[in-house]
Structure 1
Amino acid sequence: MGVDAGKVRKGRKYDQVIGGARDIFLREGFEGASVDDIARAAGVSKATLYNYFPDKRLLFMEVATGQCHAQAHAVLAQVDLARPPREVLPVAAKAYMRFALSPLGTAMFRVAVSEAARFPEVGEEFYRCGLGMVRTYLVDYLQGAAERGEVRIDDFEIAAEQFAMLCKAGLWTRRLFGLDRDVPDAEVDRVIDEAVETFMARFGV
C-alpha cells in the first residue's frame, strides 16, 4: 500500500494513471514531470487525474513504491536463495543498484528526503519499500546461509547494512550530487564484485 493510501482513490482508471505517470517520471524525474504530461500519457483528463491523486507527490510515491516492489520481485526471480553467497549476493546487489542509480531511483530518494520533515510518512514509506525491504530480504538470506555453514555472522542486521553500504561505495554519493549522470554497468559490477570480496573476507567460512 502506498503513501497516504486513504487519500488515493482506486478505480477503473487507476492502473491507466499509474502507467502514464510511470512513463513520465522515468523520463523527466519528479521535478520535470508536469501534470499535463502525465494526464496526456495516461489518456485521462486533469480532473480525472486529480480525482485519483490530489497532488503530484502522492502520485510519485505510489509509482515509486510500486516500482520498488516490482524490482524486489524481479531480483528474487533471478536468484536461487538456496545458493551460496558468492553466487547470490552479486546478482541481487547489481539488480538493486541499477534501480537505485536510475533516474526514478534517485528522484525517489531526493523527494523522500526533501519531504520527510513535512510529511514523515513519505520517508517511512520510502525506507519500508526500499532500503527496509532490501535489509529484510538480506537478513533472511544471510541467516539461511549461516545455517548452511556458508557464513559466520553474529549480528545479521549489522552485516546486512554493511553489505548494502559497500555496494554503494563511490557510486551513490556521486550520482546524488549529479557528478555522474550515467553510471556504466561495468563500473557498478566492479564496485559490487569488490563489495562481495570484502564482505566474504569478513564473514565467509
Structure 2
Amino acid sequence: MTTQTAVRKGRKFDQVLDGAREVFLRDGFEGASVDDIAKQAEVSKATLYSYFPDKRLLFMEVAKAQCQHQADEALTTLDMSRPPNIVLRQVGHKFLGFILSDIGQRIFRICVAESDRFPELGREFYQSGPMTMRSALVGYLEIAQSRGEVIIDDMDLAADQFAELCKADLWPKLIFGVRDTFPEQEIARIVDGACDTFMARYGA
C-alpha cells in the first residue's frame, strides 16, 4: 500500500472513521487490523481502501478529527471579548480536559510508540493537536494585546509557555503511570497557578 496525501470523502467516510477510532483505541496502531476496522465500521475492505489505502493515513485522520473536534468545541465556548484572567482559565481547562482524557492519552501514546518507525505520525499529530491550540491562543492574545491587557513580544513563545504551565505536575505523573485520573479541584489548582504566573509575566 502507498500513502496518499489527500483523503477522499464519500458517503461512508464518517462511518469508516468511527469504526477506526474504536479499533485504534482498543488495539493500538500496530495491533489494529484492516479486517477489524472494516468489521467495526460495517463496510467492506474495498470500501475502506477506497478512502484510506494506508493505515497510517487512516490513523492520522482519526487523530486529527478528534483534535479538531476538541478545538472547535473550545473555540465555540470562548468569548474573545472577555479579559485574560477569564479566557486563559477556560483555555487551560479545555486543554487539560483533552490531554488528560482517555482518548487524548491513547492518541499521544500511539504516536510516541510508533514514532521510530513512522516519524510522520508524530509530526502530523503535532500539527493537528498542539499547533491548533497554539494558533487559537495566539489569536486571542493578539486581541488582548490590542486592548492593552497584555504586553507580549513573542506570541508563539508565550502560548507555548502557557501550555507548559498548565501541564505542571499533572502531565509527568500521567505519562510515567504514577496516576491516571485527577480530581477537578486539582486541575483547577494547576490552571489557576498557570494563569497567575502567566499574567505576572505578561499582564499589562
Alignment TM class, shorter chain as reference = 0.7 to 0.9
Q: Assess if the C-alpha contact under 8 Å between 2:166 and 2:194 holds in 1.
A: yes
Aligned-partner SS, 1:91 = helix
| Cα pair distance change 1:180/1:186, threshold 3 Å | same
**What is residue 80 of structure 2 aligned with on the other side?**
81
Letter in 1 for 2:48: L
Alignment of 1:53-68 (within 5 A): 53-68=52-67
Superposed CA deviations along residues 69-99 of structure 1, whole A, max 9, x for unmatched, are 1111100111111211111111122112111
> Which has the higher mean CA deviation after the structures are superposed, 4-13 or 122-131?
4-13
What's 1:193 paired with?
192
Deviates more, 1:113-122 or 1:94-103: 113-122
**Aligned pairs (5 A) from 1:92-171:** 92-171=91-170
Deviation at 1:8, TM superposition (A): 4.6
TM-score (norm 1): 0.85
Distance 2:177 2:54 in 1: 27
Superimposed CA distance per residue, residues 3-60 of structure 1 (whole angstroms, 9 cap, x where no aligned partner): x553754332211111222344456655665555533331224454344334543322
Distance 1:67 1:125 in 2: 13
State the AA in 1 paired with 2:144: A
Q: Kindly, what percent of the aligned residue pairs are identical?
A: 55
- Residue 173 (str. 1) matches residue 190 (str. 2): no
Please list every run of 5 or more consecutive structure 2 residues that lacks an aligned counterpart in the other structure. none
Structure 1 segments (4+ residues) deviating >6 Å: none
RMSD, aligned α-carbons? 2.4
Q: Where does structure 1 lack aligned partners over 5 or more consecutive residues?
A: none
